[in-house]
Structure 1
Amino acid sequence: MSDSWPRRRLLAILRGASEPLDAQELARVTGQHVTTVRFHLDVLTRESLVRQFQQPPRGRGRPRIGYTAVQRSVGYQELAQVLADQLGSDPRKRSDAAVAAGRAWGAKMESADQPVETLDDAKDLTITLASELGFAPERDPSTETDEQVMIRLTACPLRELARTHSEVVCGVHLGLMREALDRNGAREHVSVRLHPFVEPELCVARLELTKARAAETVSAVEEAAPENGEPRLAPAGSRMAPQLRSAEPQLRGSADPQLRNADAHLG
């Protein structure tokens, strides 16, 4: 088709049209004979560049055949592949650049104001963000403790590219999550990691209380524990995280789930 000026012209006309056009209309616009136009339209149809539609007849007679251009979608997968390939060969530098890009993206996104003061707040914000981006997140209550939460990401808009460039694709998504959490107040007390492909179609986001916040909440619980039968109140100004429901369970270290592919660069 590329070496045929008449077909290129027909295709351009159809791409600019607001509705399907038939061969007679195209012949009138281009000044070509209607038989010649039909020939070129048949070629464009075989090349999947135009599509035929049956239209009502004008007055009596057979239905008309209208034509419209096939709109080509932008190859975002290919574009992402090209961009990923430009980040160099060092996995560490590629990961760092991707995380920085994700943070820059997150800084420009309009996000709901969801202040993060507890681990539950961080979980809710992350699930909201992941849902908006098409990750189909799911909670995993069996792995939740007072100090960490796992969120299962069952879909990914760029999963196929992530299979070969996980440090780039997952790095961008990790940076985006970190920026969203930090912007809402989690910088000092909640960290997030991303574990790609723990199963062939599953990634996991892990949220954890930082050591400083974990120690603070444990101290608050100890201050509030009864002594000699006398209830004791936590000192004024101390903050007890609501997810700490008892003094003993949260002090035990929880074993990580079987994350078979916890990428060190993303962790």
Structure 2
Amino acid sequence: MTNALNTYGFDGTTGKSNYGGRRTHIIQLLRDTREPLTVSEVAADAGVHINTARFHLESLVDAGLAERRQQPRSTPGRPKVLYVGILPNQTHERAQGFRLLAETLTFSFASMCERPVRTLHEIGMAWGVRLAALGTAENLSERDALNAVIAKLDALWYAPEILVADSRSRLTNLHGERPTELHGYDFAMRDKQRAIVLNHAPFGRTKDTHTVSVGALNAGMINGMLHQFNASIRVDTFFQIYGKDHGVARLLSVDVDMWVPELKVEVLGQ
């Protein structure tokens, strides 16, 4: 059986999510920066030790997602090592053009649907099934299935993490820490109920009607992967934080034979 944590993401990244989204952060930093960066610059921006930054940068070079260069010098001394991302710079006109095209197609399609949330959820599920079928075994334990979903989302730039609700419905990580970005929001969760938090949900800053549609698409993708992995959990509500890139997919244990998709999408913080 293929180990769930040894899968490859659809875009060619390793998809491993056991670094708390740091590697995704560093990939995005390299992607969005025009000039090559030093290890110390990356460490400072990502908030990690310089050795941790070097480890991630070298791993990205090995994966073909970054390139190592030497800083030109006109004076004696050892040149600094610089790193630059291989993926297109998102500030470049061509990259922005692809983003515009994606937004236009998604929002135009949603506006033509009689029930956009239901329709985009179904489309997302179909895509999630396809993603889950790429290089990952289907018969996984629930824990491995959830880890595999996180790995796929991490490879697709969502910077995901699994959080658990405490007795006051506040989301915390395994160390009991609460993300500051989620303070003050009510996700109506029971004690020990889990959620997948997307720290970089696409189109999160769009206007209300489009935000709901994209939330349904994201939730459907997660549910499609969970379905393909035969997991007995599903996203029942997707919360998008208004004006931010953070989305929260609330998970619920279900009877998969009786489960009927009835997704809710809520925009918080308006």
TM-score (norm 1): 0.44
Higher relative contact order (CA closer than 8 Å, sequence separation 6+): 2
TM-score, normalized by length of structure 2?
Answer: 0.44
